[in-house]
Chains A and B, each alone.
Chain A
Amino acid sequence: MGEKVLDVRDLRVWFPVRRGLIETITGRARLYVRAVDGVSFDIRRRETFCFVGESGCGKTTTGKALLRLVPITGGSALFRPSKEVAEELEKRGVTIDEDGMVDIFKLNEKQFHPVRRDIQMVYQDPFGSLNPRFRVRDILEEPLIVHKIGETKSERLEMVSRALEMVKLTPVSEFIDRYPHQLSGGQRQRVAIARAIIMNPVLVVADEPVSMLDVSIRAEILEVFNLLKERLGLSFIYITHDLSTARYVCDRIAVMYLGKIVEIGEADDVIQEPLHPYTEALVAAIPEPDPRNRLKFRDIKIKGEVPSPVNIPPGCRFHPRCILYEEAIKRGEEWAKLCTKAEPPLVEVKKGHYAACFRHEAVRAAVTAKAAGGS
């Protein structure tokens, strides 16, 4: 892993809730879906960084924010553009800091356009994401034309072939003239990946790239990601609700809950020694192909279901579902009183392993220090 390529601080994406007539007349305060509610993380070169969490916790919205596909409510995202894109940006009057980074949330639409070369997205649905009337060669050539890359048709064809080789759709001649319906699900997803990497991006955001594929071919795609990371030095954001696939591709994992990151760490640490009760529940919930589990009840220490992101609970947003908190309160433990009073910040609890939960002394200390400093 190398230098930082992305450094996101306090990203917020709030969607206004459509108001009914009554709310408008009575002038009730505007409500928001706080899809992403203060998220900070960084990504290094040659790193696969994973977001996991239940449906609706804000994973996709975080990914889309980096491509500016959703309106950004707040926060910053320092990004290290490639040489070509950096030149383009400077031509458009953007200054790049001495560290080679630029805040992509501060760019206007015209300035952002070249950044789209450097940050690519792969979607969940390999069936819907490819134009059915285009052949593989056209699908891959299109972004080159849009971004004016490659002088001649034959130069572009050369790039198309190289991208197909990278995702191991070989022999290239066998695949290049096919239409999407003539490809299997795994092959289609490889074409989608080839399209994402053809412009030699810095970062690829892959949103549930294998969840619609059959188990028998998932590993095919996971292997392609690992290969590209090594060979091209790409960085990936891998979005999934499935911790077990994350384990095979990710260097680090961020666990999201209701728009916030509650834990970040090395993949193995997060899975084997989770620090946040929510992560513990996620890990405990995952079934395995082992019939010895049969008829053993799974002990998942979590109550109820995810509340609406319009009404985020005060204090720790996980507290209404947290059994650790509930038990600590019953036992009269002092620390647990913080859970409903303050929002636990994400603090480094062990080396390189961060958690936002007051069960850890370091997290409590961070809050009391802040309170002392503030008063």
Chain B
Amino acid sequence: MPLLEVTDLRTYYYTLRGVVRAVDGVSFTLDRGETLGIAGESGCGKSTLAWSILRLVPPPGRIVGGSIKIDGMDITKMSEAELRRKVRWRKVSMIFQGAMNAFNPVLKVGDQVIEPLLLHTDMTREEAWAKAEEMVQHVGLPPEILERYPHELSGGQKQRLVIAMAILLEPDIVIADEPTTALDVVIQAQILNLMKRLYREKKMSIILITHDLSVIAELAEKTAIMYAGKIVEYGPSDAVFENPLHPYTQALLKAVPRLRGPKERLIYIPGSPPDLRNPPRGCRFYPRCEKRFEPCDREEPPMVEAEKGHFVACWLYARR
């Protein structure tokens, strides 16, 4: 049984101007000790997917379909109390996008780091503080740092604290939503080194969400490519990066500037992703796809296993 099994998940935002189908039929599994990277352009639904797995989708958003099983328990059916007691922070924790900028400026960072412990365990404040001191050292910071205020810390230090918070209760799964996006390259590399080390030492499963394919390649064993609310390709990272199947993945990889190796001409994908209130019928990539053909604008391509463990949703690979 996989540790996490997401099946046909749908999470929509019911806005005044229409229904935003941010996650629209997403399925994947995650095994224990595995790292999965989820890549896609801004607005394709990555953060919404992450929030869904913790059942923390902000209103007017709602999970409207599908299931999310963690250790076989469907969390879409759980009560809020049960979620808080059994799942959040204990089983699944999250490094929220931009969390390093969300520390309360008037509280010591330590008081904010121990908050999940006070909320999700029966530890006393002293016990929680001691636990936090231990975890802070795991992420390469001195324990005294907990006594400081947010403005006294650098961006890199704050992001390390956010990571320390996510691993406080040694959860099975850590979801990291753009954990390095706002950081300088040197600090990004240090944070990625840290995540690699934690992943090895703690044998946690990591879901790494980012728009940056290079960051995924640094860490993830498996890669899922998301486009307009759907996963369009999924497989071992080696296969997805070296033998991309979906025309979107192929184009995206040719658009990434590389620092080393021959300087090939970069390509770009004309146009922009569709409005998720009114996505195109058929394949959602159709308006931007170079390889589109007869069935693409009418019928949605099914996800097929094109080679072992390597899935793709594109009519080029599906039999009708």
Contact with B along A216-233 (1 / 0, CB 8 A): 111110110000000000
Q: Bound complex: CA of A294 vs CA of B260, how far in Å? A: 17
Residue A55 CB within 8 A of the other chain: yes
Residue A367 CB within 8 A of the other chain: no
Residue B259 CB within 8 A of the other chain: yes
Among B240-259, those with CB < 8 Å from A are 241-242, 251-253, 255-259
Of the candidates B190, B192, B241, which one forms a contact with A287 in the assembled complex, judged by CB atoms under 8 Å apart? B192
Q: Bound complex: CA of A31 vs CA of B216, how far in Å? A: 43
Q: Bound complex: CA of A243 vs CA of B189, how far in Å? A: 14
Task: Tell me if B238 and A217 are in contact (CB < 8 A).
Answer: no
Task: Tell me if A291 and B268 are in contact (CB < 8 A).
Answer: no
Task: Tell me if A281 and B186 are in contact (CB < 8 A).
Answer: yes
Q: Bound complex: CA of A54 vs CA of B183, how far in Å? A: 9
Task: Tell me if B256 and A271 are in contact (CB < 8 A).
Answer: no
Q: Bound complex: CA of A215 vs CA of B248, how far in Å? A: 12
Q: For A300, give the chain B residue with the smallest CB separation.
A: B189
Task: Tell me if A216 and B257 are in contact (CB < 8 A).
Answer: no
Task: Tell me if A286 and B185 are in contact (CB < 8 A).
Answer: yes
**Known A219-B268, A223-B268, A305-B156; contact A287-B257, beta-carbon cutoff 8 A:** no
Instruction: Return B275 CB to nearest CB of chain A, in Å.
Output: 11
Residue B272 CB within 8 A of the other chain: yes
Q: Bound complex: CA of A222 vs CA of B255, how far in Å? A: 11
Residue A242 CB within 8 A of the other chain: yes
Which of A10-18, A147-155, A159-167, A244-252 binds B?
A: A244-252
Q: For A283, give the chain B residue with the smallest CB separation.
A: B259
Chain B CB within 10 Å — which of A218, A293, A298 has the most? Answer: A298
Q: Bound complex: CA of A55 vs CA of B255, how far in Å? A: 25
- Counting contact residues on chain A (CB < 8 A from B), the size range is 35 or more
Among B241-292, those with CB < 8 Å from A are 241-242, 251-253, 255-260, 263, 266-272
Task: Tell me if A294 and B189 are in contact (CB < 8 A).
Answer: no
Task: Tell me if B268 and A242 are in contact (CB < 8 A).
Answer: no
Q: For A307, give the chain B residue with the smallest CB separation.
A: B154
Task: Tell me if B41 and A214 are in contact (CB < 8 A).
Answer: yes
Extra contacts besides A184-B272, A219-B255, A290-B214 (10): CB < 8 Å? A216-B252, A216-B255, A222-B266, A241-B185, A243-B259, A285-B189, A288-B260, A291-B237, A291-B242, A293-B218
Listed in ascending order, the chain B residues whose CB lies under 8 Å from chain A are 41-42, 154-157, 184-190, 192-193, 196-197, 200, 211-221, 223, 237-238, 241-242, 251-253, 255-260, 263, 266-272
Listed in ascending order, the chain A residues whose CB lies under 8 Å from chain B are 54-55, 184-186, 214-220, 222-223, 241-245, 247-248, 271, 281-295, 297-298, 300, 302, 305-306
